[in-house]
Amino acid sequence: GAVVSQHPSWVICKSGTSVKIECRSLDFQATTMFWYRQFPKQSLMLMATSNEGSKATYEQGVEKDKFLINHASLTLSTLTVTSAHPEDSSFYICSAWTGLGYTFGSGTRLTVV
Amino acid sequence: AQSVTQLDSHVSVSEGTPVLLRCNYSSSYSPSLFWYVQHPNKGLQLLLKYTSAATLVKGINGFEAEFKKSETSFHLTKPSAHMSDAAEYFCVVSDRGFGNEKLTFGTGTRLTIIP
């Protein structure tokens, strides 16, 4: 079936540095990717929708300058957390529409120290 | 606008007994509804989905759900719980079900299986 590969699965970074998370569609072309954030014991909240070759659409309250999304090809979307702070520590998950359904990456656990 | 309400944040059942996880939805259109399962620090796995075909939907691992428009419900059931079913379950709605749409997640139900 259609698979989205997300890397890294976990990352620890120092406060003030930037972290890039990648999501690749392995056997299909993902015109649209969705980025979610999940705080401990909470649900997934949509952060932004990225469309190949165009600017991402951010949900209300999400800082677009802090969470940079790039969707330069039909198989790769990246989320960069810039100048990370401890409050950005969370579980980030990407998702893509395969044509038949939504498939999710395995998630990235970000810890900012 | 669409929304999902998962009525129980935590459900505990004994192994071998039935499972019922409740979900009510609100949608402006004919929605698509999904149930996903998430194991700790893992991504989400699709259990089943309703997309305006049969109202009783069978999914993986013995789970099924019934779409009841009159009750705006989409409850998830399983006849006999297994230890491996312990996880977080999310009810999800998509307004039109055409794909490439925003998904709205419920707050999740943590299922605990008692040996």
* Calpha distance B71→A66 (Å, rounded): 42
Residues 6+ positions from A42 with CB-CB distance below 8 Å = B107, B108
Q: Work out the number of other CB atoms within 10 angstroms of the CB of residue B62.
A: 15
Q: CB–CB of B88/A39 below 8 Å? A: no
**Alpha-carbon gap, residue A112 to A92, rounded angstroms:** 13
**Partner-chain contact B100 A44, CB within 8 Å:** no
- pLDDT class for B44, splitting at 50, 70, 90? confident
Give the residue from chain B lying closest to A7, CA to CA: B43
Q: Any chain B CB within 8 A of the CB of A8?
A: no
Residue A96's closest CA among A79, A81, A75, A70? Answer: A75
* Sign of torsion over alpha carbons A48, A35, B95, B4: negative
Q: Which of A45, A51, A60, A102 would best serve as a mutation to test chain B binding (most B beta carbons within 10 A)? A: A102
Q: What is the separation, in whole angstroms, between the first and last Cα of chain B?
A: 41
Please name which of B33, B39, B7 lies closest in space to residue B104, comparing C-alpha atoms.
B33
Alpha-carbon span B101 to A110, nearest angstrom: 26
The 10s digit of each residue's pLDDT in A102-113 is 889 999 999 999
Model confidence at B95: pLDDT above 90: no
Reply yes or no on whether the pLDDT at B97 is more than 70.
no
Distances (CA, A) of A25 to A33, A80, B6, B57: 9, 18, 30, 27
Cβ-defined contact of B41 to A91 (cutoff 8 Å)? yes
pLDDT (0 to 100) of residue B98: 62
Beta carbons of B41 and A109 less than 8 Å apart? yes
Q: Give me the count of residues in chain B.
A: 115
How many CB atoms neighbour CB A3 within 10 A?
15
End-to-end CA distance of chain A: 37
Q: Rounded to a whole number, what is the largest CA-CA distance in chain A?
A: 40
Please determine, for residue B31, whether its predicted confidence score (pLDDT) is greater than 80. yes
SS3 call for B82: coil
Predicted local distance difference test score (pLDDT) of residue A97: 85
Contacts of B34 in chain A (CB under 8 A): 102
Both tokens of A22, joined, read: 């990648």
The model's pLDDT over A32-77, given as tens digits with 9 standing for 90+, comes to 899 999 888 788 899 999 988 888 999 999 999 999 999 989 999 9
Find out whether B105 and B5 touch, Cβ atoms under 8 Å: no
